[in-house]
Structure 1
């Protein structure tokens, strides 16, 4: 049985990676030709949709992401929103460039019940040569209620071959 790659580094060289646009990279993850980030499995969410300037993750918090009071830890909301917002920015990153989060902020508006399926959508508000700004929301799939919002600024860096 062939071994399945567990990281992008196992599939692509640095040059191959930099030859892809951020949009193509994100589509590769969605289509399963590139592996998703391990944090998604740890946190219980998957990449659900990729569009130009917009990314959706879907998941449900499990008991493993609760705080000592048994409710969903704020870090789960933050990790999910950071992932969706930054990956939305990634869809705008040109070939030969990479990005990383400079800062992000979240507002939790209500507690997500354990096991409830949610969508976390990140949308690009601005994408320039050196920065990208995005906003995000976590909403219940069935109830449509807003559970958290966020905003981020990412740095976009052009790398030399």
Structure 2
């Protein structure tokens, strides 16, 4: 009997990889395993130390009772890019968790397939905590929401 999981995905040991290396290795596999990004249709557009860019298209299932995109979609997108931006700064075997998330909503977004792009950037990467900021823009480059986060570093 052949183990298909072993042949479908590259072998790697996450405990030996930096946060950036782990994100780069996982990106091609994200459509194959359950995760919040797959659920929302997030795509990884860019990864570099201290900065991450993800995007998604709005859809009718994202609607709030008023018929526009629920704020939780932008909050999740922002939490993801800011947390992953922090993750890109971490050495092997080190993790993180969101301690605080502050989101400011600027404008409503239709659920008509509009592309939202979020950029997360590290402001401070310390030994015990890290902070980051994020922005979501629509396909016209208009600011939709912005946020800050504080993450606890798990050593």
Match of 2:90? 93
SS of aligned partner of 1:95: coil
Structure 2 unpaired stretches of 5+: none
Structure 1 unpaired stretches of 5+: none
Deviation at 1:140, TM superposition (A): 1.6
**Aligned residues, how many?**
148
CA distance, structure 1, for counterparts of residue 25 and residue 107 of structure 2: 33
Deviation at 1:68, TM superposition (A): 1.8
Deviation at 1:150, TM superposition (A): 0.5
Match of 1:106? 103
Contact 2:103 2:148 in 1 (8 A): yes
1:79 aligns with 2:76: yes
Contact 1:44 1:62 in 2 (8 A): no
Over 3 Å counting, the alpha-carbon distance change for 1:104 and 1:113 in structure 2 is same
Deviation at 1:118, TM superposition (A): 1.6
Give the 5 Å matches for 1:49-64: 49-64=46-61
What TM-score results when the alignment is normalised by the length of structure 2?
0.87
CA distance, structure 2, for counterparts of residue 4 and residue 64 of structure 1: 31
SS of aligned partner of 1:80: helix
Over 3 Å counting, the alpha-carbon distance change for 1:4 and 1:121 in structure 2 is farther
